[in-house]
Amino acid sequence: MTTTVEDCGSVDHAIAVPVSDEQLWQISAEFLAHGLVRGEHVIYFDDGTSDRVLERMTDDGVAVAGPLREGRFTIVPSDRHTSPHEVAETVRAAVDAALAAGYPAVRITGRLTFVVRHTGSDSGMADYDRVIEEVVRHRPAHILCIYDRARYPEEVLEAVRAAHRTEVVAPAIYDDGLLRITAVGPGTARVAGEVDHSNRPRIRSFLEAALDRALRLPDAPTDITLDLSSLRFLDVAGAVGLVHAAEEFPNAHRLVLTGVRPRIQRVLDRCGAPFATQLVVHARSDQPPAEQPSTDHPSTDHPSIDESPADESSAHQPERPAHEQARA
Amino acid sequence: MRIETTRSANALRMEHAAGFHGSATDLLDQLVPLAEQALDRAEPLATALQPDTERALDDRLGGELTSEERFVRLRPPDGGPAGASAQTLAARWALELRALSVAKGRPVTVLNEHTAAFDGADGRFWTELDAALNVALADLPVRITCFYPELPLHLEILDGARRNHPLLLSDGELRHNPGHHDPRAVIAARPAAQPPVLGPPDVRLSFSAWQLHEVRTTVEHALSGHGYERERLEDIVLAVNELATNAVEHGAPEAQLSLWTGGHGLLCEIDDGGTLRDPLPGLQAPHPAEPRGRGVWIARQLCDSLHVWTDGRGTHVRVHANP
């Protein structure tokens, strides 16, 4: 079965096969965020991607500094393990320790590259997955194994897919490895990565389609919104394109850009964005996201064994706009 | 750094005149009335004169020139690690003069004097400067008079002055110059100078339209740890990205990026096999409705020097960007 990353809060042992780095960061960040919201112990097995995953969590409005400081969120370097067995035992130890410490549950993800590097065979991987399966059985543990397409041959992917009951998917409107556009809601999309000469027309296509839908449906929102929190580069023609698109909107409609980073804001400003009346730019605050009130941290004296997932609503993304300020 | 995005709407547009002199005294005799007129009209006065000339002019005006708060000394030409670039100078003067005319709300009188130090091998620096000024200052309220010796070392200097200036100053009066040509035609006939050859680059990269990401990463890595503030680094990456985009968009399918790093700031060159539609790109703010041409305009303002030239092998851009 498959589940979307928005609903993956309660999976026990799942696999994700991202097609791009941007998707890898998205899935990892959202999976980990589910755990932080629920007060779980959250662990990321890092193979050098943790900076980007933490950046993505910050983009998503998830406070990471506090949980990292308090030890609720741990980043474990993953390159020091030598065998699948050793990794599986590390996972087992982590789950045991977190549950013993009184956390309601433990949540682990990461890219497990060493597995293939050290075995080179399917059997080693299957072995590994069997141990993980045993670790999570009947226990409040959520483990998401990430195998990205760029690193594993197709037959390995088929084998590891078969070993997992659940696959977490994160569909995109467009993903070329540099730019990733995902639908967020009616007339709203998230644009992550970099926009340049090679993929600029994709933004335009999305805006045209979104505007068409907004005009066709009577109760569609009149704002077309692009969440640019994870947009790291926008070239001049891309910025000019956004300004022109907004100016060509029918009078009642606006193009709203949210979470705009300073770098993107400067390009937009140089391309006439301040003079476009139908373009609204919400700058992203330079402040890190407000610390979430830590979900009642379990005391070690009275370990909680309640593994029932928290109320579904709390598993969704925390509201973002709290830390955004509209630009004057 | 100031970024201008709108054109000015002044009634007076550039008046660009050439004056020729046989001696230092002759030069002063022509400069004094122009300066006096500007002071009488209470208009700002900007100069790019040799130090001796400026001192003598100030003496003749009884010290009124340099004590005047409406007097501005324009940034003189300079070599710099990238080599002298007349188009860069024209772009900088355009920014300074626009700011001055907006601040004072009056047209600006500019007195410009030839300096042999920038003649280079054949004097074409001056041809490029006047052509670039015609483009960069086109819609600014500026009266600019450029003074050249009657007998310069290079004949090109006189030829260029006669082709570039719509007006000639003679016997204190401005006359229409029938030999005047469009600046782009002038540059097509006498291309911008090739800057001094640099040594082998520290970094070299061939790229296509699908590898602009690699161009940005390469520049970012080259700048990291060299004292560039985050914002400055991002702006330089943007500038190089725009030039690289132009190279593969309008030029050849593949272009070359070369970087020289070190104590002199970043030197960057982008070479492609294509030809330029506009031999003097990015000197004028594009109209807001115009989708193209903004990249080079923005890059010019973000870099300390940006020089575009063409030769038999294609189009080249050299950029210098300090931290």
Who wins on pLDDT, A258 or A161?
Answer: A258
Taking an 8 Å cut-off on Cβ atoms, the answer to whether A196 and B213 are in contact is yes
Name the residue of chain A whose CA is nearest to B232's CA. Answer: A263
Q: Write out pLDDT tens, residues B67-115.
A: 778 899 998 877 788 889 999 999 999 999 999 999 999 999 999 999 9
Taking an 8 Å cut-off on Cβ atoms, the answer to whether A194 and B241 are in contact is no
Average pLDDT over every residue of A302-320: 37
Mean pLDDT check: name the lowest of A249-253, A300-304, B182-186.
A300-304
User: Rounded CA gap, B101 and A20, in Å?
Assistant: 52
Contacts of A194 in chain B (CB under 8 A): 213, 216
Who wins on pLDDT, B131 or A83?
Answer: B131
pLDDT at residue B287, as a whole number: 79
Give the closest of A178, A241, A269 to B213, CB-based.
A178
pLDDT at residue B156, as a whole number: 95
pLDDT at residue A227, as a whole number: 97
Q: Quick check: A322 pLDDT over 50?
A: no
User: Rounded CA gap, B56 and A159, in Å?
Assistant: 88
State the pTM of this model.
0.87
Name the residue of chain B whose CA is nearest to A198's CA. Answer: B210
B119 — contact with chain A (CB < 8 Å)? no
B interface test, pick of A22, A231, A235 with most B CB neighbours within 10 Å: A235
Which pair of tokens denotes residue B17? 């005149």
- What band does A149 get if pLDDT is binned at 50, 70 and 90? confident
Taking an 8 Å cut-off on Cβ atoms, the answer to whether B213 and A240 are in contact is no
User: Rounded CA gap, B270 and A213, in Å?
Assistant: 43
Query: SS3 letters for chain A?
Result: CEEEHHHHHHCCEEEECCCCHHHHHHHHHHHHHHHHHCCCEEEEEECCCHHHHHHHHHHCCCCCHHHHHHCCEEEEECCCCCCHHHHHHHHHHHHHHHHHCCCCCEEEEEECHHHHHHHCCHHHHHHHHHHHHHHHCCCCEEEEEECCCCCCCHHHHHHHHHCCCEEEECCCCEECCCEEEEEEECCEEEEEEEECCCCHHHHHHHHHHHHHHHHHCCCCCCEEEEECCCEEEECHHHHHHHHHHHHHCCCCCEEEEEEECHHHHHHHHHCCHHHCCCEEEEEECCCCCCCCCCCCCCCCCCCCCCCCCCCHHHHCCCCCHHHEEECC
Contact present, B183 and B233 (Cβ < 8 Å): no
CA distance A263 to chain B (A): 7
Contacts of A269 in chain B (CB under 8 A): 3
Q: Write out pLDDT tens, residues B282-321.
A: 999 887 777 778 999 999 999 999 999 999 899 999 999 9
Contacts of A235 in chain B (CB under 8 A): 212, 238, 241-242, 245, 295
pLDDT at residue A126, as a whole number: 67
Name the residue of chain B whose CA is nearest to A234's CA. Answer: B238
B212 — contact with chain A (CB < 8 Å)? yes
- What band does A326 get if pLDDT is binned at 50, 70 and 90? very low
B 65-84 residues with CB < 8 A to A: none
B298 — contact with chain A (CB < 8 Å)? yes
Which pair of tokens denotes residue A51? 């900076």
Q: Quick check: A82 pLDDT over 80?
A: no
Give the closest of B210, B216, B295 to A236, CB-based.
B295
Query: SS3 letters for B25-72?
Result: HHHHHHHHHHHHHHHHCCCCEEEECCHHHHHHHHHHCCCHHHHCCCEE
pLDDT at residue A117, as a whole number: 54
Q: Quick check: A122 pLDDT over 60?
A: no
Q: Write out pLDDT tens, residues A226-270.
A: 999 999 999 999 999 999 999 999 999 999 999 999 999 999 999
- What band does A80 get if pLDDT is binned at 50, 70 and 90? low
pLDDT above 70 covers a percentage of chain A that reads 80
User: For chain A, what is the mean pLDDT?
Assistant: 82
Mean pLDDT check: name the lowest of A35-44, A173-182, A218-227, A280-289.
A280-289
User: Rounded CA gap, B304 and B82, in Å?
Assistant: 10
Which pair of tokens denotes residue A152? 């594993």
Taking an 8 Å cut-off on Cβ atoms, the answer to whether B291 and A237 are in contact is yes
pLDDT at residue A298, as a whole number: 42
User: For chain B, what is the mean pLDDT?
Assistant: 92
Taking an 8 Å cut-off on Cβ atoms, the answer to whether B245 and A237 are in contact is yes
Which pair of tokens denotes residue A300? 């070690």
A interface test, pick of B231, B232, B241, B248 with most A CB neighbours within 10 Å: B241
pLDDT at residue A290, as a whole number: 59
**Residues, chain A:** 328
User: Rounded CA gap, B80 and A205, in Å?
Assistant: 45
Mean pLDDT check: name the lowest of A79-88, A109-118, A258-267.
A109-118
Q: Quick check: A24 pLDDT over 80?
A: yes
User: Rounded CA gap, B256 and B189, in Å?
Assistant: 26
Q: Write out pLDDT tens, residues B144-161.
A: 999 999 999 999 999 999
Average pLDDT over every residue of B223-241: 96
Q: Write out pLDDT tens, residues A46-73.
A: 888 899 999 999 999 999 999 999 999 9
A interface test, pick of B3, B212, B231 with most A CB neighbours within 10 Å: B212
Contact present, B50 and B112 (Cβ < 8 Å): no
Name the residue of chain A whose CA is nearest to B3's CA. Answer: A270
Give the closest of B209, B213, B294 to A236, CB-based.
B294
pLDDT at residue A136, as a whole number: 84
Give the E-state strand segments of B99-242 in sequence order.
108-113, 142-149, 167-170, 173-176, 203-207
Mean pLDDT check: name the lowest of A148-162, A229-243, B174-188, B308-322.
A148-162
Taking an 8 Å cut-off on Cβ atoms, the answer to whether B212 and A262 are in contact is no
Contact present, A231 and A178 (Cβ < 8 Å): no
Give the closest of B212, B231, B294 to A240, CB-based.
B294
B 161-190 residues with CB < 8 A to A: none
B 226-245 residues with CB < 8 A to A: 231, 234-235, 237-238, 241-242, 245
User: Rounded CA gap, B308 and B302, in Å?
Assistant: 15
CA distances (Å), A194 to each of A44, A219, B275, in order?
25, 32, 28
Q: Quick check: B134 pLDDT over 70?
A: yes
Q: Quick check: A328 pLDDT over 50?
A: no
Average pLDDT over every residue of B7-19: 77
Contacts of A270 in chain B (CB under 8 A): 3, 5, 294, 298
pLDDT at residue A288, as a whole number: 59
Q: Quick check: A287 pLDDT over 70?
A: no
| Residue A319 CB contacts under 8 Å (≥ 6 apart), including other chains | A61
Output the CA torsion A172→A174→A177→A178 (10° steps).
-120
pLDDT at residue A116, as a whole number: 55
Enumerate the β-bridge partners of residue B47: B73, B111
Mean pLDDT check: name the lowest of A78-92, A93-107, B253-267.
A78-92
pLDDT at residue A110, as a whole number: 86
Q: Quick check: A271 pLDDT over 70?
A: yes
Q: Quick check: B16 pLDDT over 50?
A: yes
pLDDT at residue B82, as a whole number: 87
Phi, psi for A280 (deg, rounded to 5): -115, 125
A interface test, pick of B216, B238, B243, B303 with most A CB neighbours within 10 Å: B238
Who wins on pLDDT, A108 or A305?
Answer: A108
User: Rounded CA gap, B254 and A60, in Å?
Assistant: 38
Neighbouring CB atoms inside 10 A of B23's CB total: 10
User: Rounded CA gap, B255 and B245, in Å?
Assistant: 10
Q: What is the ipTM of this complex?
A: 0.90
Give the closest of A233, A237, A270 to B5, CB-based.
A270
CA-closest candidate to residue B316, choices B79, B80, B83: B83
Contacts of B250 in chain A (CB under 8 A): none
Amino acid at A219: D
pLDDT at residue B249, as a whole number: 87
| Residue B149 CB contacts under 8 Å (≥ 6 apart), including other chains | B20, B21, B22, B114
Contacts of A233 in chain B (CB under 8 A): 216, 237, 241
Contacts of B231 in chain A (CB under 8 A): 262-263, 266
CA distance B137 to chain A (A): 20
pLDDT at residue A121, as a whole number: 53
Contacts of B219 in chain A (CB under 8 A): none
- What band does B257 get if pLDDT is binned at 50, 70 and 90? very high
Neighbouring CB atoms inside 10 A of B147's CB total: 23
Taking an 8 Å cut-off on Cβ atoms, the answer to whether B212 and A198 are in contact is yes
Helix (H) or strand (E) holding B271: strand B266-272
User: Rounded CA gap, A48 and B135, in Å?
Assistant: 50
pLDDT at residue B173, as a whole number: 94
Who wins on pLDDT, A117 or B317?
Answer: B317
- What band does A128 get if pLDDT is binned at 50, 70 and 90? confident
Average pLDDT over every residue of B220-225: 94
pLDDT at residue A165, as a whole number: 83
Contact present, B83 and B11 (Cβ < 8 Å): no
